[in-house]
Every structure is written in structure tokens, then in C-alpha cells.
Structure 1
Amino acid sequence: MEYGSVQEHELENIDFNLPEDCKENSIILNGKRNDSFKIHIGLPRWNNPEWKGKIYPTNAKDSELLSYYSANYNCIELNATWYKIPSLQNIHSWKNLVKQNENFLFCPKMIKDVTHTNSLPNNKNLSDYFIDTMRNFDNYLGAIFIQLNETFAPTRKNELFSYLKTLPNDIPFFLEVRHPQWFSDKNINKELLNFLEDNRIGIIITDTAGRRDAVHMSLTIPKTLIRFAGNSLHASDYARIDDWVERINFWMNNGTEEIYFFIHMPNEMLLPELTIYLIDKLNETCGLNIKRPQLINDTPQLSLF
């Protein structure tokens, strides 16, 4: 994720502390622990050959990587759909490759031909086709996320709201806004959050070094999707994960139903290490039993399997 990226020497001067919860979160959450709480942890892609010999067998075929990925993670941020709508054949193939993990979820990103053009409502037919195609993931379909670029300003809010009202209500949707004014203008921010709450659409929290305004800590539904941009195991990555674990624990104990947590970093080779750290901390702090990715030649932690 290039959004909000900074040079390594700049990291020491950034305040990575998570802001306090938006006060309206207490309205979204009921204040009671949800016994059916779910958390989905994943990466932005599965087809990384660098993970052969790390979390994939050394001799793994490229066509098998999704299967090995789904043995280590329970979710994928499906960025491939931003470029192209997959064929039904591809979708059925992917479902077959993850069938060993019945809890696995694909979270597709809305195709850019809808979100990165001059008019969202004019692309309704394409949006509908995209959504109908994604339905073929069946029980493996998680949330669909809609990402707007940094130039999509609140001056286009009527266009945005008009489009979002057309979304079906039987699939979870999350919106990622990036233009700074969505966060800096309190009235606009409140209007956006109220609209999303009224229409049961989640808002994405993007934790990236160079855009701390995007770590807004607002909930519009009792679910959230977090996109965490690490910095290749810089010391700050671990401190930030610790903070997130504490916040997730608080949310879990106050009524959050479901969380998606996707980790990005420039050196993708190191992604498994940070996800293992996250999962171990969640299991320890939150009393969860999330299966951790298994590094090749690691001794399995039997309590987690």
C-alpha cells in the first residue's frame, strides 16, 4: 500500500498512538461482549513466491498457493478485482482451492472502473454486475470494500450518497475515503458517518504512517475493517500492533460483532512474521484461539491447532 507511505527515517517522528474512540461508537456498540465475535486476518495477496519455503512448501506450484494460503489465513483482501472482474471459472476454482477452510472469506475490492471515474451513479450497471458476480463466492464471500481515491472530495458527496443508496443490504459493504477534508471538516465528517450508519455501511480505518487522519476510530456499524500498513518490521510496527490488540479487546468486550484486519508492508516477505505476532497477542489478550500461520520448520504450537 503506497497510500500514506513515508521514508524509514521519518518513522521516528510520527505519533502512532491510536486516537480515542469516536464518542458516537458508544451508540453503535451495546456495551456487552458478543459471544459470537469473529475476527478475520489476512494479507493483500496470496501469490507471493517469496513465501515458498516460509509458509508454503518449497516445491509448491503457483496454482497451489491459494490452497496453502488458506491453510494459514482465514481471509484475503482481494485486490485483483480492482483491476478486473474475475470469470465464474476463476471464482469456482478459487472456492475449490480454499474448501479445506470452511471459514475462509474473500473480500473483493470494487473494480476501479466504478470508483475511479468521473461519475459513480453512471456506473451503476457495472457496479451491479460486479456485485452479482461476487455473489458466486457464496459462503466464501466476506465484505466488499469500496475505495475512493485521494482526489474524491466531499464536493461530490451527493454523487457518493446517491450511489451508496443503490447497494444491496444482504452483503456487508465498507467504504474507504482518502481526501483529507472527509476527516478535517467536522461537519462533513459527521454527515458522512451519519449517512453510513443510516444505510448500514461500514467505514474503513486505514492505519498508515503518513496519513494519521485516516486512523479515525469511528464505527458506523458494529463491525469494522482495518487496513494496517506496516513498515517491514520496524520497531513501531510491534508497538502499533500492541495498541490495536488493546483496542480490539475493548471493542470485542463492548459489542463489536466482526473485524477484518488486513496487513500490508513494503517488504511482503516479512508479512507472516507480523501476522503471527498479531495473532499471538490477540490470543493472549482477548482469550481467542486463532490459528496462526505456521512457518516451515517451526515447531507447531499445539494449543492453537
Structure 2
Amino acid sequence: MDFGRLSDLRYVDFRLPPDHPETAGVLARARVAQPAPPRVYVGCPIWTNKAWLGSYFPAGIRDSDYLHHYARQFNSIELNTTHYRIPDAPTVRKWRGAVPDTFRFCPKLPQVISHDRQLYNTEALTTSFCRAIEGLGPTLGRAFLQLPPTFGPEHLPRLERYLLDFPDYVPLAVELRHPGWFADRELLSAVSALLEALGKTLVLSDVAGRRDVLHQRLTTPVALVRLNGHGLVASDFRRAEDWAARLAAWLEAGLHEAYVFIHQKDILHSPIWAQHFLHRLHELTGLAVTPPHIIEQPVQGSLF
């Protein structure tokens, strides 16, 4: 994720801001129906991570087996492949068959909907996408609509119309990037209230160069966090601990689900960050989410 990425982190304040004032009310209302236990999902943007061969993946596996082995390390994925094309039914069945029912896919809406047409005249495409990912069955987590930085507040009526028409059988999260959404408190309150009324999750992005998008406003009992890491520097580990503490507090207050997606330039760093985060979250909550781990590789026999 290049959005908000900086090469110089010296002047970035990575501390998490306080919760938005409306977040407490969302959690209090959600607490009545909170599942026991609540669920936490952690993942990466892709599963074809060849750098993991011989460590987190067995050496020598076929390309078609990557998702199966990825799902033994992480329990969710930010499914970016759907951003570039709508998958056909055989592909969705193959994905569904490669993972356990406890796994969750979070497919990104196609860019032709979000970026090319910017939600204009996209009814047929949206229906095709939703029908396709419906085939994921119980492994469908939250689809998410990533709006481009050019999609600003002047398009709020179009966003509202799109969300009102969006099929209700697909859970949806929305990521806003234009600075205008966050520059005006009243506007942010209005769009957040809209998402809350429609049951859509407002995405939280923790990136170095755009601290404004870390608004800490929950609109549903689901938190979806996208985090840009910087090569396991000290601030990455502090942020892992800070997010564990914040999510622990939200889970205690009534949060139903949390999705945390890790973006590191070197994919070898993502499992290490996840281990640190999940260890701290377990210390704080007792929730047991299996962290990624180095697997024992088969040893070839010897003739001597």
C-alpha cells in the first residue's frame, strides 16, 4: 500500500488518536449482541508469497497450493485480486475449497467501479461482483470499497445513492481518502452517521503521511484496520502494541469483529509484525488467534 507511505519517519507522530466521541455509543449498542468470544482476523494483501517458501510455506509447493498454506498461517486476507477483475464461479469455488470455514476473505471492489467510473452507472458491475463473491459462503468477511483520492465530499450524494442500492447480502466497508472528508468535523460526522445508519463499516488506515485518515470513528461493531509498516523499525512494534491495546479496549466495550491487514514492503516482515501484535493482544484479552510460525520442513533421506 503506497497510500500515505513516507521514506522519512523522523517527524511522524505514530501515537493513536483518542476515539471519536461517537465510537463509545456504537460499541455500547453492539455489546448487547456481542458474540462470545468476539473474533479477530489478521492477514496480508496477497497469498502468493514466494519469499515464504522454506519458512512459512513448505519448499517446492505448487502455485495452486499457496492459498491453502497461507490459510494455515493467517486467518484472513485483504483480497486485492478482485480489484482488477471480477472472479468467475470456478475461481471462487477454488478459493472457498482451499481454506477452513474459520477463514475470512475481504474482497476489494473492482477498480472499474471505484476508480474508473467512481460509482457512476455501476449497477450491473456491482451486482456481478456481489453475486460472484457470495460464492465464498461463510468465508466471506467484509467486502470493501476503496474510493480514490479524487473522490471528494462533492460526491457525497452519489456515494449515498450507491450505498443505498448496494446488495444487503454482502457486508461492506468503505475507505475514504480525499482530505476533504476529514478536514471538516461536521462533514465527517455526517458521512459517518450515514454509514452507521446503513450498517457499513468505515475503514481505518494507519499510514505515516496521512494521519487524518486515522479518525477512530467506528460505524459498526466491526473494525477494519489497514496498516502500513516500515520494515520492522521501532515504531512498527510500538504501533503493534498500541493497536493491541486499542482493540482490546474496543473488544471489552462490545466490538464484534476486528480485521487487521498488514502492508510491509518486504513480505517477510509481515508474519513477524503479526506475531508481535497477536502475542500482545492475547496478553490483554486472552483471545487465542494462532500467529504465523516457521514450519518444520521435510528432510530428504540419504543414501549413506
Pairwise same-fold verdict (TM > 0.5): yes
Q: Which residue of 1 aligns with 2:3?
A: 3
Instruction: Tell me which amino acid in the other structure corresponds to 1:141.
Output: L
Instruction: Tell me which amino acid in the other structure corresponds to 1:51.
Output: W
Q: Within 2, Cα distance between the matches of 1:203 and 1:123? A: 21
The structural deviation recorded for 1:57 is 0.8
Residue 119 to residue 290, structure 1, CA distance change in 2 (3 Å): closer
What's the TM-score once normalised by structure 1's chain length?
A: 0.93
Q: Which residue of 2 aligns with 1:245?
A: 244
Instruction: Tell me which amino acid in the other structure corresponds to 1:69.
Output: Y
The structural deviation recorded for 1:36 is 3.1
Q: Deviations over 1:41-67 (max 9, x none)?
A: 111010010010120011222211111
Contact 1:230-1:237 at 8 Å conserved across structures: yes
Does 1:228 find its partner at 2:210? no
The structural deviation recorded for 1:297 is 4.6
Contact 2:244-2:278 at 8 Å conserved across structures: no
Contact 1:42-1:77 at 8 Å conserved across structures: yes
Structure 1 residues not aligned, in runs of 5+: 299-305
The structural deviation recorded for 1:5 is 0.5
Instruction: Tell me which amino acid in the other structure corresponds to 2:194.
Output: F
Q: Within 2, Cα distance between the matches of 1:169 and 1:84? A: 21
Instruction: Tell me which amino acid in the other structure corresponds to 1:131.
Output: C
Q: Which residue of 2 aligns with 1:20?
A: 18
Equivalenced residue count is: 294
The structural deviation recorded for 1:121 is 3.8
Instruction: Tell me which amino acid in the other structure corresponds to 1:79.
Output: N
Q: Within 2, Cα distance between the matches of 1:230 and 1:180? A: 21
Q: Within 2, Cα distance between the matches of 1:235 and 1:119? A: 38
Q: Which residue of 1 aligns with 2:46?
A: 45
The structural deviation recorded for 1:193 is 0.5
Instruction: Tell me which amino acid in the other structure corresponds to 1:222.
Output: P
Structure 2 residues not aligned, in runs of 5+: 298-304
Q: Within 2, Cα distance between the matches of 1:208 and 1:199? A: 27
Q: Which residue of 2 aligns with 1:163?
A: 162
Question: What is the DSSP-based 3-state SS (H/G/I as helix, E as strand, rest coil) of the residue aligned with 2:291?
Answer: coil
Q: Within 2, Cα distance between the matches of 1:170 and 1:50? A: 37
Q: Which residue of 1 aligns with 2:81?
A: 80
Contact 1:196-1:220 at 8 Å conserved across structures: yes
Question: What is the DSSP-based 3-state SS (H/G/I as helix, E as strand, rest coil) of the residue aligned with 1:268?
Answer: coil
Q: Which residue of 2 aligns with 1:110?
A: 109
Structure 1 range deviating more: 204-213 or 85-94: 85-94
Q: Within 2, Cα distance between the matches of 1:20 and 1:87? A: 43
Q: Deviations over 1:96-155 (max 9, x none)?
A: 111xx2201111000011011345141111011101111011111111000001111101
Identity of aligned residues (%): 34
Q: Which residue of 1 aligns with 2:90?
A: 89
Q: Deviations over 1:151-208 (max 9, x none)?
A: 1110111111111111122321100000001011112111100110111101000001
Q: Within 1, Cα distance between the matches of 2:214 and 2:109? A: 21
Contact 1:121-1:162 at 8 Å conserved across structures: no
Matches within 5 A, 1:281-300: 281-297=280-296
Runs of 4+ in 1 over 2 A off after TM superposition: 31-36, 168-171
Q: Within 1, Cα distance between the matches of 2:118 and 2:65? A: 39
Q: Within 2, Cα distance between the matches of 1:26 and 1:176? A: 21
Instruction: Tell me which amino acid in the other structure corresponds to 1:6.
Output: L
Instruction: Tell me which amino acid in the other structure corresponds to 1:11.
Output: L
Q: Within 2, Cα distance between the matches of 1:170 and 1:94? A: 19
Q: Within 1, Cα distance between the matches of 2:6 and 2:275? A: 24
Contact 2:152-2:180 at 8 Å conserved across structures: yes
Q: Within 2, Cα distance between the matches of 1:118 and 1:75? A: 29
Matches within 5 A, 1:188-267: 188-267=187-266
